[in-house]
Amino acid sequence: MFAPRQKKEKIKLKKGAWRRSFRIFPYLKPHAFKFGVGLLFLILSSLTSMVFPGMAGKLVDVSNSPESNSGGGFLNLDNINSVAGILFVVFALNALFSFIKIYIFSDVTERVLAKLRQDTYNHLIRLPMNFYSQQRVGELNSRLSSDITTLQETLTTVLGELIRQVIIIVVGISLLVFYSWKLTLIMLASVPVVVVIAVFFGRFIKKLSKTTQDKISESNVIAEETFTGISNVKAFANEFFETTRYKNSTDSIRKVAMKGAIWRGGFASFIIFALFGSIVLVIWQGVLLKEAGEIEIGELFSFLLYSVFVGASFGGTADLFARLQKAVGSTEHLFDLMDETPEPLTIDDSPSVLSEFKGAIEFNNITFHYPTRTNVTVLKSVSFSTNPGETVAIVGPSGAGKSTLVSLLLRYYEPVSGEIKFDGINANQYELSSLRNQMAIVPQEVILFGGTIKENIAYGKTGATDEEIKAAAEKANALQFIEGFPDGFNTVVGERGIQLSGGQRQRIAIARAVLKDPKILILDEATSSLDSESERLVQDALDKLMANRTSIVIAHRLSTIRKANKILVLADGAIKEEGTHEELMLIDEGLYKNLNSLQTDLQ
Which CATH number does the domain housing residue 392 bear?
3.40.50.300
Q: In terms of Cα–Cα distance, which of 109, 91, 4 is closest to 45?
A: 91
CA angle (272, 273, 279) in 5-degree steps: 85
Query: In this predicted structure, what is the pLDDT of residue 528?
Result: 61
CA angle (340, 342, 346) in 5-degree steps: 155
From CA 240, how far away is CA 221, in angstroms rounded? 17
Mean pLDDT of 362-383: 90
Q: Is the pLDDT score of 426 beyond 80? A: yes
- Count of domains in the chain? 2
Query: In this predicted structure, what is the pLDDT of residue 423?
Result: 93
284 and 376 belong to one structural domain: no
Secondary structure of residue 571 in the 3-state scheme: strand
Residue 480 covered by a domain = no
Among 307, 338, 369, the domain-final residue is 338
From CA 282, how far away is CA 307, in angstroms rounded? 9
Residue partners of 307: CB distance under 8 A and separation at least 6 = 176, 187, 278, 279, 282
Query: In this predicted structure, what is the pLDDT of residue 365?
Result: 94
Residue 320 covered by a domain = yes
Residue 242 covered by a domain = yes
Mean pLDDT of 401-423: 91
Q: Who has greater pLDDT, 193 or 123?
A: 123
Residue partners of 472: CB distance under 8 A and separation at least 6 = 457, 460, 464, 511, 512, 514, 515
SS (H, E, C) 451-512: CEHHHHHHCCCCCCCHHHHHHHHHHCCCHHHHHCCCCHHHCECCHHHCCCCHHHHHHHHHHH
187 and 326 belong to one structural domain: yes
Mean pLDDT of 18-26: 75
Residue partners of 187: CB distance under 8 A and separation at least 6 = 176, 278, 279, 282, 307, 310
Number of H helices, E strands in the chain: 22, 10
From CA 598, how far away is CA 575, in angstroms rounded? 20
Provide the residue type at 592 as one letter: Y
Cross-strand partners of 571: 574
Mean pLDDT of 49-72: 65
Could you read off the pLDDT of 562-583 as tens digits, one per residue? 888 999 999 888 999 999 889 8
73 and 214 belong to one structural domain: yes
128 and 81 belong to one structural domain: yes
Residue 456 covered by a domain = no
34 and 157 belong to one structural domain: yes
Secondary structure of residue 566 in the 3-state scheme: strand
Cross-strand partners of 570: 575
Among 338, 370, 405, the domain-final residue is 338
Mean pLDDT of 189-209: 68
Query: In this predicted structure, what is the pLDDT of residue 40?
Result: 92
Residue 36 covered by a domain = yes
Query: In this predicted structure, what is the pLDDT of residue 1?
Result: 47
Residue 448 covered by a domain = no
Query: In this predicted structure, what is the pLDDT of residue 591?
Result: 87
CB 534 within 8 A of CB 503: yes
140 and 248 belong to one structural domain: yes
Mean pLDDT of 207-232: 81
Highest-pLDDT range among 173-182, 388-397, 446-455, 529-538: 388-397
Mean pLDDT of 473-502: 84
Mean pLDDT of 268-292: 75
Residue percentage of the chain with pLDDT more than 90: 12
Query: In this predicted structure, what is the pLDDT of residue 360?
Result: 93
382 and 322 belong to one structural domain: no
Q: Is the pLDDT score of 559 beyond 80? A: no
Among 290, 305, 338, the domain-final residue is 338
311 and 384 belong to one structural domain: no
267 and 364 belong to one structural domain: no
Residue 587 covered by a domain = yes
Query: In this predicted structure, what is the pLDDT of residue 10?
Result: 39
Q: Is the pLDDT score of 333 beyond 70? A: yes
Q: In terms of Cα–Cα distance, which of 419, 399, 417, 395 is closest to 409?
A: 419
Could you read off the pLDDT of 95-107 as tens digits, one per residue? 999 899 889 988 9
Query: In this predicted structure, what is the pLDDT of residue 85?
Result: 79
Residue percentage of the chain with pLDDT more than 70: 86
Query: In this predicted structure, what is the pLDDT of residue 392?
Result: 92
326 and 383 belong to one structural domain: no
From CA 457, how far away is CA 510, in angstroms rounded? 9
Query: In this predicted structure, what is the pLDDT of residue 73?
Result: 45
Domain of residue 580, residue span: 357-438+558-603
Secondary structure of residue 600 in the 3-state scheme: helix
From CA 196, how far away is CA 91, in angstroms rounded? 36
Residue 7 covered by a domain = no
Query: In this predicted structure, what is the pLDDT of residue 544?
Result: 81
Q: Is the pLDDT score of 362 beyond 90? A: yes
pTM: 0.70
Instruction: Tally Cβ neighbours within 10 Å of residue 214.
Output: 20
272 and 323 belong to one structural domain: yes
Average pLDDT value for the chain: 81
Least confident piece of the model among 40-49, 282-291, 457-466, 544-553:
282-291
Which CATH number does the domain housing residue 225 bear?
1.20.1560.10
Provide the residue type at 92 as one letter: A
Mean pLDDT of 261-270: 79
379 and 286 belong to one structural domain: no
The bridge status of strand 361-368 relative to strand 417-422 is antiparallel
Could you read off the pLDDT of 515-544 as tens digits, one per residue? 888 899 998 876 665 666 677 777 788 888
How many CA atoms lie within 13 Å of 381's alpha carbon, on the beta-carbon side?
1
Highest-pLDDT range among 70-79, 309-318, 324-333, 466-475: 466-475
Q: How far apart are the first and last CA of the chain?
A: 38
Q: Is the pLDDT score of 26 beyond 50? A: yes
Least confident piece of the model among 134-138, 382-386, 597-601:
597-601
CB 112 within 8 A of CB 31: yes
